[in-house]
């Protein structure tokens, strides 16, 4: 009886695996030829895998870059190093250039010449040179009976050695080895970083963030989520710190812009840097996320957002200072609400459980399997049981503690960086001072003491209230003993006295560093106590069970189903996802089209709601309907479209390419009905939301009037299909003809 059920489940799993093939998966570029090329070509790719990733010639990967070590993706769209990414990816930079008097966040900004481009402080982009599978060498001395700690030490030793060798071969490149499939495979990535990056243009926030947090993570969308940057290099085209003498970087490869637009069912591929997914998460992990982790993050962030908002609403200066921090906090606040909702609605727990039952039966069936994978499920079960009591404390140590108010993170960084000030080595001490001054500049620019103080008091008080005393940071005892358990009293001492809260006191400290003063500072003391608490959670022996459990489960699942094309979880390395443009049905009796048009902006317009303001210039241009070559075949301006590509955070700004490898859009979001997608991909529901390149170019051309930029771009249009001139219902089969 039991056996049968397992067989049925197995069949269902196989079926899901094969129908999900086309869209699910974040594929590694050096494996495309072996795993995906044939299927991609059959789906509509007119290129070879070698055109996408090659060691011998310029290829598509050379036009795709990551921002600031993985926060977002971007692409090169001219031979002069012009870069396109999302508005929300350059949001911090745009906000950083904004003041109440010259508010480019609200009004937008366009450089009409190279001279007007704004150098962005502390910003970098990274090019991928090559990928190499180093699994064999990394695991050469690892045996299956090694304990987890010895295993990790052994692996780390080889990784450091290979990276060292790579640096020896080419000091201009930055090697990095990462683990894939939960510690089962290892690949080397060789990178090159550029740091003179300038802001070229951004639409007003009312376009770039239209719909705000209300529309965030949702379709239908009407957001022009894009901005433009430029990479500068020295005279030889090499990376260089900012200098007036630097010139626009001439890339190996840039993307062409297609004005052909999208049809339902069109092939699309997306290249970029997805940050992290949890597709191998166990049922126990799903349960812990639902019961503890997600609600804890949401609860703390809720308070954080309310506290920030009360200050932003009353002070226009604070509104600008905290705009990026607010958006960042709100983004994953809403994410975790949606993820829990999705996990429940789609019964992800049940699906994981069924898979684990099947796995357990498969393991039990043979001695070798029992020896190899027998411990996987038990380790994970124990890990989650043993950590249920500490997860909330762990979340609070980070969300309410270290990244709660800005002062704590700043204090932690200063506390670490200040060690260099006391160095015997004068060069090292000078470098430490320079770096601290740089940090302080960034911090004070967007720091409002009243807001920060409120954040500190509200979040720490909640921390003390919600988390058991034996898990509280050590400095809470001081607050109890010396400040009557009242964080207001602690704040009253800390904010007026700490050298961290005032630029003059900060400069005094850096020019006359004093170890006593550092130790005694109440801000430093609190931050050091918080980091100790936070690190304690990860130093626990439970972590080894987690690492080993997932390594064995992942290896076992792959061995159990060798027919399935397995792809590794996202880890901020470059991936390609392919699929098709496609509409969907989000709920009973509801159908969502695959594109939105400019009409939707006018429908959503509400100038009394900051999230739905429509800029006057935009509105009159939209009403004139002068869409020129950017219009679709019905004369409409398409704003956004959806496709079933598999992406996640970090992919923001990624190029969406057609079968010819030309740019048709920029990915910028996922959809509400599949917010659990990072844990389990949902073939029927999961969609990538992209801004249509024609909307982007229309704004640059018609609204910004930046002809200088339009002239840099290579536009392509495919020869028109003669069928397109037929009446629409005759030209396309019914199932494609929804629009
Ligand atoms: N959900 C988008 C992402 O994670 C970010 C959108 C930013 N917009 C906002 N309203 N917070 O890439």
* Among protein residues, the one whose CA lies closest to atom 6 of ligand 1: 216
DSSP state of 397: I
327 close to ligand 1 (CB < 6 Angstrom): yes
Structure tokens at 276: 């992290």
Predicted pLDDT of residue 6: 36
Residue 336: per-residue pLDDT: 98
Please report, for residues 176, 251, 290, the alpha-carbon distance to residue 194 in angstroms, rounded to integers and kept in the order given: 16, 12, 41
Whether 88 is catalytic: yes
The response to whether residue 254 sits with its C-beta less than 6 Å from ligand 1 reads: no
Q: Are 62 and 85 members of one domain?
A: yes
Q: What confidence tens digit (pLDDT) does each residue in 441-483 have?
A: 999 999 999 999 999 999 999 999 999 999 999 999 999 999 9
Question: Do residues 306 and 261 share a domain?
Answer: no
Residues 321 and 332 in one domain: yes
Distance 87 CA to ligand 1 centre (A): 10
CB 331 less than 6 A from any atom of ligand 1: yes
**738 part of a folded domain:** no
Mutate to test the pocket of ligand 1, among 270, 324, 669 (most ligand atoms within 8 A of CB): 669
Alpha-helical segments (H) within 561-674 = 599-604, 616-624
**Model pLDDT for residues 657-701, shown as the tens digit of each residue:** 999 999 999 999 999 999 999 999 999 999 999 999 999 999 999
For residue 541, pLDDT over 90 is answered with no
Residue nearest atom 8 of ligand 1, based on CA coordinates: 216
The percentage of the chain sitting over the pLDDT mark of 70, rounded to a whole number, equals 94
Mutate to test the pocket of ligand 1, among 74, 86, 88 (most ligand atoms within 8 A of CB): 88
**Closest atom, ligand 1, to C-alpha of 86:** 12
Q: How far is the CA of 178 from the centre of ligand 1 (A)?
A: 27
The answer to the question of residue 229 being in a domain is: yes
Q: Report DSSP state, residue 702.
A: I
Domain extent, residue 180, equals 126-194
pLDDT band at 721 (very low <50, low <70, confident <90, very high): low
Q: What mean pLDDT is predicted for residues 492-519?
A: 96
37 and 91 part of one domain: yes
In a domain, 739, yes or no: no
Q: How far apart are CA 333 and CA 327, in angstroms?
A: 10
What's the rounded Cα separation, in Å, for the pair 572 and 60? 18
Ligand 1 nearest-atom number relative to CA 331: 11
- pLDDT grade for 2, boundaries at 50, 70 and 90: very low
C-alpha span between 284 and 573 (Å, rounded): 27
Question: Is 264 within a domain?
Answer: yes
Q: Is the CB of 212 under 6 A from ligand 1?
A: yes
- How does pLDDT run across 199-240, given as a tens digit for each residue? 999 999 999 999 999 999 999 999 999 999 999 999 999 999
Q: 325 CB less than 6 Å from ligand 1?
A: no
| Distance from C-alpha of 397 to C-alpha of 403, rounded to nearest angstrom | 9
Quick one: which of 585, 707, 586, 690 has its CA closest to 638? 690
State the chain's mean pLDDT as an integer: 94
pLDDT digits (tens, 9 = 90+) for 46-79: 999 999 999 999 999 999 999 999 999 999 999 9
Residues 583 and 667 in one domain: yes
CA-based nearest residue to 163, from 194, 189, 140: 189
**Can you tell me the mean pLDDT for 7-21?**
39
Q: Which of 31, 54, 32, 28 is nearest to 41 (CA)?
A: 32
CA geometry: angle 139, 141, 144, nearest 5 deg: 75
Neighbours of 291 (CB within 10 A): 14
212 CA closest ligand 1 atom index: 10
Cα distance between residue 294 and residue 296, in whole Å: 5
Atom in ligand 1 nearest the alpha carbon of residue 652: 12
Distance 343 CA to ligand 1 centre (A): 20
Residue 701 DSSP symbol? I
Atom of ligand 1 nearest to the CA of 88: 7
Q: Name 716's Cβ contacts closer than 8 Å, sequence gap at least 6.
A: 256, 257, 258, 259, 260, 660, 662
Mean local confidence (pLDDT), 589-602: 97
Q: How many domains does the chain have?
A: 3
Q: Write the Ramachandran bin of 417: left for phi over 0, alpha for psi from -120 to 50, otherwise beta.
A: alpha
Q: Judge if the beta carbon of residue 221 lies within 6 A of ligand 1.
A: no
576 Cβ partners below 8 Å, 6+ apart? 26, 27, 29, 32, 36, 52, 269, 270, 271
- What are the tens digits of pLDDT across the range 614-629? 999 999 999 999 999 9
> How many whole angstroms separate alpha carbon 700 and alpha carbon 714?
14
pLDDT of residue 723: 52
HSE of 108 in the Cβ direction (CA atoms, 13 Å)? 25
Q: Give the pair of three-digit tokens for residue 696.
A: 């982007």
The confidence band for 34, taking pLDDT boundaries of 50, 70 and 90, is very high
What token pair was written down for 450?
């009243």
* Selection from 449, 81, 67, 476 nearest residue 248 by Cα: 81
Tokens of residue 109, six digits: 């900004």
Q: Is the CB of 117 under 6 A from ligand 1?
A: no
Q: Is the per-residue pLDDT at 327 higher than 70?
A: yes
Q: How far is the CA of 334 from the centre of ligand 1 (A)?
A: 10
Q: Write down the pLDDT at residue 145.
A: 87
Using 50, 70 and 90 to split pLDDT, how confident is the model at 419?
very high
Asked if 438 and 573 sit in the same domain, the reply is: no
Write down the pLDDT at residue 736.
37
Cα 686–689–694 angle (5° rounding)? Answer: 150
Instruction: Give a yes or no: residue 557 inside a domain.
Output: no
Compute, in angstroms, the gap from residue 492 CA to the centroid of ligand 1: 36
Main-chain phi, psi angles of 476, to 5 degrees:
-65, -30
Among 489, 523, 541, the domain-final residue is 541
| Pocket of ligand 1 contains residue 330 by CB under 6 Å | yes
CA of 223 to the centre of ligand 1 (A): 11
* Average of per-residue pLDDT across 383-404: 97
Mark whether 155 and 268 lie in a shared domain: no
User: Is 50 exceeded by the pLDDT of residue 17?
Assistant: no
Q: Round to whole Å and give the CA distance between 253 and 267.
A: 22
Residue 390, Cβ neighbours under 10 Å: how many?
A: 18
What's the 88 CA to ligand 1 centre distance in angstroms? 7
Q: Atom 2 (ligand 1): residue with closest C-alpha?
A: 669
Same domain, 418 and 511: yes
Query: For the whole model, what pTM was predicted?
Result: 0.93
Residues 1, 541 contacting (CB under 8 angstroms): no
Average pLDDT over residues 139-150: 92
Q: For helices 487-497 and 522-539, give the axis angle rounded to 10 degrees.
A: 120
Position 720 scores a pLDDT of 56
Q: How confident is the model at residue 738 (pLDDT cuts 50, 70, 90)?
A: very low
Ligand 1 center–CA 336 separation, angstroms? 13
pLDDT score, position 719: 64
Is the CB–ligand 1 distance for residue 582 below 6 Å?
A: no
Contact 500, 521 (CB under 8 A): yes
**pLDDT for residue 332:** 96
Which domain-ending residue is among 158, 176, 194? 194
Number of C-beta neighbours around residue 723 at 10 A: 9
551 assigned to some structural domain: no
Exposed (0-12), middle (13-18) or buried (19+): which is 539, by Cβ within 10 Å? Answer: exposed
Chain-centroid distance of CA 622 in Å reads 32
User: Which residue among 225, 406, 569, 646 is the active-site one?
Assistant: 225
* Structural domain includes residue 327: yes
Q: Binning pLDDT at 50, 70 and 90, where does residue 601 land?
A: very high
The verdict on residue 737 lying in a domain is no
Confidence of residue 1 (pLDDT cuts 50, 70, 90): very low
Residue from 88, 182, 254, 311 carrying the catalytic annotation: 88
Prior bond of 220 cis (ω within 30°): yes
Ligand 1 atom showing the smallest separation from residue 217 Cα: 1
Q: Is 652 a catalytic residue?
A: yes
> Residue whose CA is closest, atom 7 of ligand 1?
88
Q: Name the one residue in this structure whose structure tokens are 């993820």.
A: 339
Domain of 213, CATH number, reads: 2.40.10.120
**Given the CA of residue 330, which atom of ligand 1 is nearest to it?**
11
Residues 384 and 345 grouped into a single domain: yes
Q: Among residues 498, 652, 654, 690, which one is catalytic? A: 652
Distance (Å, rounded) from C-alpha 198 to C-alpha 228? 9
CA angle at 487 for the pair 484 and 489, rounded to the nearest 5°: 65
- Same structural domain for residues 336 and 393? yes
- State whether residue 446 is helix, strand or coil: coil
Evaluate whether 665 touches 248 at the Cβ level (below 8 Å): no
Q: In whole angstroms, what is the distance from residue 564 CA to residue 558 CA? A: 8
pLDDT band at 144 (very low <50, low <70, confident <90, very high): confident
End-to-end CA distance of the chain: 49
Q: Do 216 and 272 lie in a common domain? A: yes
pLDDT of 636 > 70? The answer is yes
* Domain termination site, one of 497, 525, 541: 541
pLDDT of residue 21 exceeding 80, the answer is no
Can you give the pLDDT at residue 16? 39
In whole angstroms, what is the distance from residue 336 CA to residue 331 CA? 9
Residues 164 and 206 reside in one and the same domain: no
């Amino acid at each position: 009886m039991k056996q049968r059920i397992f067989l049925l489940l197995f069949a269902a799993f196989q079926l899901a695996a094969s129908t999900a093939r086309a869209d699910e998966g974040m594929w590694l570029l050096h494996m495309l030829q072996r795993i995906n090329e044939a299927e991609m070509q059959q789906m509509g790719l007119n290129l070879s895998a070698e055109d996408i990733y090659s060691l011998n010639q310029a290829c598509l990967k050379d036009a795709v870059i990551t921002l600031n070590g993985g926060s977002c993706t971007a692409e090169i769209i001219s031979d002069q190093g012009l870069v396109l990414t999302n508005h929300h990816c350059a949001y911090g930079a745009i906000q950083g250039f904004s003041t109440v008097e010259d508010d480019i966040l609200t009004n937008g900004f366009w450089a009409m010449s190279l001279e007007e481009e704004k150098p962005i402080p502390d910003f970098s982009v990274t090019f991928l040179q090559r990928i190499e599978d180093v699994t064999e060498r990394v695991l050469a001395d690892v045996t299956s009976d090694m304990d987890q700690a010895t295993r990790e030490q052994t692996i780390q030793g080889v990784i450091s050695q290979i990276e060292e060798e790579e640096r020896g071969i080419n000091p201009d490149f930055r090697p990095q080895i990462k683990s894939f499939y939960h510690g089962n495979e290892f690949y080397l990535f060789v990178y090159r970083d550029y740091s003179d990056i300038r802001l070229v243009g951004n639409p007003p926030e009312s376009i770039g963030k239209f719909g705000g947090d209300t529309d965030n993570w949702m379709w239908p969308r009407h957001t022009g989520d894009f901005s433009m940057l430029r990479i500068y290099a020295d005279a030889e085209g090499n990376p260089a710190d900012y200098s007036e003498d630097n010139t626009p970087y001439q890339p190996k490869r840039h993307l062409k812009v297609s004005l052909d637009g999208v049809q339902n069912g069109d092939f699309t591929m997306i290249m970029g840097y997805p940050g992290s997914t949890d597709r191998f998460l166990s049922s126990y992990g799903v349960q812990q996320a639902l019961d503890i982790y997600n609600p804890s993050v949401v609860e703390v962030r809720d308070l954080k957002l309310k506290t920030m908002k009360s200050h932003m609403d009353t002070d226009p200066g604070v509104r600008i200072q905290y705009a990026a921090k607010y958006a960042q906090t709100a983004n994953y606040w809403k994410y975790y609400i949606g993820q829990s909702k999705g996990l429940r609605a789609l019964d992800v727990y049940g699906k994981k459980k069924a898979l684990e039952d099947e796995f357990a039966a498969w393991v039990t069936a043979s001695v070798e399997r029992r020896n190899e994978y027998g411990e996987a499920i038990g380790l994970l079960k124990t890990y989650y049981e043993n950590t249920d009591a500490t997860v909330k404390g762990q979340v609070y140590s980070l969300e309410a503690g270290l990244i709660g108010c800005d002062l704590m993170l700043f204090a932690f960084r200063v506390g670490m960086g200040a060690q260099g000030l006391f160095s015997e080595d004068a060069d090292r001490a000078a470098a430490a001072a320079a770096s601290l001054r740089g940090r302080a500049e960034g911090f004070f620019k967007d720091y409002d003491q009243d807001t920060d103080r409120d954040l500190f008091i509200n979040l720490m008080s909640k921390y003390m209230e919600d988390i058991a005393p034996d898990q509280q940071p050590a400095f809470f005892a001081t607050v109890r003993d010396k400040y009557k358990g009242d964080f207001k009293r602690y704040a009253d001492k800390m904010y007026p006295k700490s050298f961290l809260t005032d630029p003059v006191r900060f400069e005094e400290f850096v020019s006359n560093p004093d170890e006593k003063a550092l130790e005694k500072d109440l801000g430093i003391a609190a931050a050091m106590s918080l980091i100790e608490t936070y690190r304690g959670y990860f130093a626990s022996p439970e972590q080894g069970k987690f690492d080993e459990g997932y390594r064995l489960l992942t290896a076992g699942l792959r061995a159990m189903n060798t027919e399935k094309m397995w792809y590794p979880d996202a880890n901020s390395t470059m991936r390609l996802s392919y699929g098709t443009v496609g509409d969907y049905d989000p709920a009973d009796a509801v159908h969502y089209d695959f594109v939105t048009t400019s009409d939707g902006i006018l429908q959503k317009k509400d100038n009394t709601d900051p999230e739905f303001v429509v800029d006057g210039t935009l509105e009159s241009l939209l009403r004139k309907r002068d869409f020129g070559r950017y219009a679709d075949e019905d004369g409409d301006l398409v704003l956004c479209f959806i496709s079933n590509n598999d992406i996640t955070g970090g992919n923001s700004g990624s190029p969406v390419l057609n079968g010819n490898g030309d740019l048709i859009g920029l990915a910028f979001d996922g959809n509400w009905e599949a917010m659990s997608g990072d844990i389990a991909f949902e073939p029927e529901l999961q969609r990538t939301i992209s801004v249509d390149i024609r909307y982007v170019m229309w704004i640059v051309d018609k609204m910004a009037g930046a002809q200088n930029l339009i002239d840099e771009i290579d536009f392509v249009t495919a020869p028109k299909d003669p069928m397109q001139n037929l009446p629409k219902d005759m030209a396309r089969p019914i199932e494609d003809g929804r629009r």
